[in-house]
Amino acid sequence: HLCYWELMWAYSFEQNWMEAYRYADRLCKENNWSQATYVFQKAAILSMLPEEEVTKLGENVVALFRQVEGLRIRIAGKSIPTEKFAAKKAQRYIAPIPGKLVVPALEMMYVWNGFTVVGKRPELTENILSTLEKAEEQLRNNPAPSEYQLDDQCVVQLLKGLCLTQLGRLVQAEICFNYVISSEKNIKGDTYLVPFTMYELGLLHKQKGDVRTAITVIEKAKMNYRDYSMESRLHFRIHAALNTMGSFTAKLPPSRTPA
């Protein structure tokens, strides 16, 4: 089953969604580690396929997303963070007229740190960037935007910024990240986006050679935000990033100034 999980991601990195679906489906049917995560992942992958392909497979994306909340489990009385994240994202599909997530499989790829893998393959990164640019255009031209329009745009901009960073297009990447950060007060549900984006912006500054600014921005992401999805996961990433910057961290005390 661990191999199925890895194969699902390997095909996802290539955007071979049909093959990725086959392994996601097998995990749903054969493994009970986290059914909420598996079902969400399966639905997210199906969301990347044309609707006619999903129909041919006999699947119902809305029904799958609606199952997620009821499949959540607790370990020692505590929720699994990825299940909590998935359930929150899946809430859009609970309404009588369900909303849609914009690029859920790519968003989950980021949650599981997959972009660090994709970034080593420029051709895969370019292909994902192309998918994100198409999603960006669809959102821009949507004649009936949902109440989550800005959230969706910010998801796309965060992921687009990651791709651009990995391709060395840092000026464009910074514009994407700043779009998300400047939208903070108007984001409706995906509040995790701003601290995660600030962290990525910090890494971008490090890549530019400006370690002092990098540390300042990453410290803001750490100190100024609370109670958002995947908070502990971001704190692990922040801790690892600051450690790689060595003694520089000792020169800059934590700050709680406004982001």
Instruction: Indicate the pLDDT class of residue 78, thresholds 50, 70 and 90.
Output: confident
| Residue of 195, 196, 67, 89 lying closest to 148 (CA atoms) | 89
Over residues 145-186, the pLDDT tens digits come to 999 999 999 999 999 999 999 999 999 999 999 999 999 999
Round to whole Å and give the CA distance between 222 and 209: 21
Q: Which of 54-58, 78-82, 86-90, 133-137 has the lowest mean pLDDT?
A: 78-82
Q: What is the pLDDT of residue 249?
A: 47
- Has residue 234 got a pLDDT over 70? yes
Residue carrying structure tokens 């370019």:
126
**CA of residue 92 relative to chain centroid, distance:** 16
Provide the 3-class DSSP secondary structure of residue 4. Answer: helix
pLDDT tops 50 at residue 197 = yes
Instruction: Taking residues 93-115, report their average pLDDT.
Output: 94
Query: Residue 137 above 80 pLDDT?
Result: yes
pLDDT, residue 31, reads 84
The DSSP element (H or E) to which 74 belongs, if any, is strand 74-75
Task: Spell out the SS3 assignment of 156-170.
Answer: HHHHHHHHHHHCCCH
Residue 254: per-residue pLDDT:
52
pLDDT-wise least confident of 75-84, 208-217, 243-252: 243-252
For 229-246, what is the mean pLDDT? 92
Assess contact for 135 and 174: CB atoms under 8 A. Answer: no
Residue 96: which pLDDT band, with cuts at 50, 70 and 90? confident
Q: Is the pLDDT assigned to residue 259 strictly greater than 60?
A: no
pLDDT of the residue at 33: 83
Q: What is the DSSP letter of 77?
A: T
Q: What are phi and psi of 75, to 5 degrees?
A: -120, 120
Burial class (CB in 10 A: 0-12, 13-18, 19+), 254: exposed
Q: CB within 8 A of 221, min separation 6: which ones? A: 195, 196, 198, 199, 202, 234, 238, 259
Residue 245, pLDDT score: 86
pLDDT at 258: 43
* Contact call for residues 19 and 41 (beta carbons, < 8 A): no
For the chain, percent of residues with pLDDT exceeding 90? 85
Tell whether the model's pLDDT for residue 250 goes beyond 50: no
Percent of the chain with pLDDT over 70: 95
Tell me: pLDDT of 12 over 50.
Answer: yes
Q: Strand pairing partners for 74?
A: 79
Q: Is the pLDDT reported for residue 241 higher than 90?
A: yes
Per-residue model confidence (pLDDT) at position 1: 73
Closest CA to 93 of 59, 68, 117: 68
Which of 53-62, 214-223, 225-234, 241-250 is the least confident region? 241-250
Decide: helix, strand or coil at residue 98. Answer: coil
Residue 79: strand pairing partners? 74
Q: What is the DSSP letter of 222?
A: H
